[in-house]
Chains A and B, each alone.
Chain A
Amino acid sequence: MQETAVTETRDPLMIAEDWMKDGRDVVIATVVETWGSAPRPIGSHLVIDAEGNFEGSVSGGCVEGAVVAEAAEVLEDGKPRMLEFGVADETAWRVGLSCGGRIKVYVERLG
């Protein structure tokens, strides 16, 4: 079951709201499509602030770096982006995404 436990202390969307209240700039990344055995289900979030702090995950560790880097650009121009990560099996194994899945991540600025 993919239900979100709001009681989870590290819920990315709750953290995004807290950051917003603190006056921090926030980018929200969301897994919108997956192919094969992607490590995080559709709807999963990674939230990033202007300093590159992040919470949550879109892949379980292997593409977060790229998403965080892209977040800076999104903050800059305010335009949402669609990122696609397709990982060949061998590469996937090397970077830790042993499943060889592919994911599409939507990255947008909050506000």
Chain B
Amino acid sequence: MDPYSLKKLNAARRERRAVVLLTDLGDGRDRVILEGDPVTGELGEAISKAFRSGRSGSVEIENRSYFLNVHVPPPRLVVIGAVHISQAMAPMARIAGFDMEIIDPRTAFASPERFPDVPLYAEWPDEVLERRPLDTFTALAALTHDPKIDDPALKAALEAGCFYIGALGSRKTHASRVERLTGMGISSSAIEAIHAPIGLDIGASSPQEIAVAILAQIILALRSRGLESRTARGKAA
């Protein structure tokens, strides 16, 4: 491996960016490709596919054998609101392989007794997100119902390009949310990326079931990054 490739690869991984190390197994030459770097032809297609699936593997192109090692950051899940749904979501998210954390400035909600096994920040989202910035491998679910808490977090998530953004609330609640976000200078096309009402439409009713619906929708977004069709966006809560 080229020492320059190793440095570039590790730097990208430290920055939580998706990256492929492409090795020509014939001559041993390698190069680092960041997600979004233009690569043409069949090789470009193989690389795009590798980024989407997150799976490493070999490909044969024009009698040359390449190995594509994909490095995708572990998905993070930031939940705004130390509410009943978040309590159910914390163990589920852990089992599904997400690093979940909860932010809620209301200390009565954000108490370690209610959330013993998950990182909990009893602060305003702005403060936490400045120290721990959101990125494209982070999902954000806003569950407080309180615009003072949810809105700044949603704005930050849109700006960071989170792979999933969801907000709890009825269609009516969301309509007024759209008005407020528009007032904050966010474009309507950006606002459309918010899943609201939140969660896949599985008829969820209890907080635990809504947690399943949200997590399922997050997994769908993660596994179809860049491909998500509007039809796949079911609505539940």
CB under 8 Å from chain B, chain A span 56-98: 79-80, 82
Q: How far is the CA of A83 from the CA of B67 in the complex (A)?
A: 15
Residues of the A chain whose Cβ atoms lie less than 8 Å from the Cβ of B6: 13, 16-17, 20, 110
Q: B153: CB under 8 A from chain A?
A: no
- A30 to B, closest residue via Cβ: B69
Residues of the A chain whose Cβ atoms lie less than 8 Å from the Cβ of B55: 2, 42
B10 touching A14 by the CB < 8 A rule?
yes
Q: How far is the CA of A110 from the CA of B1 in the complex (A)?
A: 5
**Residue of B14, B23, B28 touching A6 (CB-CB under 8 A):** B14
Interface residues as binary, A18-38 with B (CB distance below 8 Å gives 1, 0 otherwise)? 001000000010101100000
Contact residue range for chain A?
A: 20 to 34
Contact residue range for chain B?
A: 20 to 34
- B25 to A, closest residue via Cβ: A106
- A110 and B69 contact, Cβ closer than 8 Å, known pairs A3-B74, A6-B13, A33-B58: no
Residues of the A chain whose Cβ atoms lie less than 8 Å from the Cβ of B14: 6
Q: How far is the CA of A110 from the CA of B6 in the complex (A)?
A: 8
Closest-CB distance, B51 to chain A (whole angstroms): 13
Tally of A-B residue pairs with Cβ under 8 A? 66
Interface residues as binary, B34-75 with A (CB distance below 8 Å gives 1, 0 otherwise)? 000000000000000000001111100000000101111111
- A80 and B28 contact, Cβ closer than 8 Å, known pairs A14-B10, A20-B6: yes
B75 touching A108 by the CB < 8 A rule?
no
Closest-CB distance, B101 to chain A (whole angstroms): 14
**Residue of A28, A43, A80 touching B70 (CB-CB under 8 A):** A43
**Residue of A20, A41, A79, A82 touching B25 (CB-CB under 8 A):** A82
A6 touching B56 by the CB < 8 A rule?
no
Q: How far is the CA of A80 from the CA of B56 in the complex (A)?
A: 19
Residues of the A chain whose Cβ atoms lie less than 8 Å from the Cβ of B70: 43
Interface residues as binary, B1-19 with A (CB distance below 8 Å gives 1, 0 otherwise)? 1110011011001101000
Q: B226: CB under 8 A from chain A?
A: no
Q: B185: CB under 8 A from chain A?
A: no
B1 touching A108 by the CB < 8 A rule?
yes
Residues of the A chain whose Cβ atoms lie less than 8 Å from the Cβ of B69: 30, 43
B23 touching A5 by the CB < 8 A rule?
no
B54 touching A17 by the CB < 8 A rule?
no
- A43 to B, closest residue via Cβ: B56
B2 touching A111 by the CB < 8 A rule?
yes
- A28 and B71 contact, Cβ closer than 8 Å, known pairs A2-B55, A80-B28, A106-B25: no
Residues of the A chain whose Cβ atoms lie less than 8 Å from the Cβ of B28: 79-80, 108
Shortest 7 CB-CB contacts between residues of A and residues of B: A43-B56, A80-B28, A3-B74, A1-B97, A111-B3, A6-B13, A42-B56
Listed in ascending order, the chain B residues whose CB lies under 8 Å from chain A are: 1-3, 6-7, 9-10, 13-14, 16, 23, 25, 28, 54-58, 67, 69-75, 97
Q: List 6 A-B contacts (CB under 8 A).
A: A3-B74, A5-B74, A13-B10, A16-B6, A42-B57, A106-B25
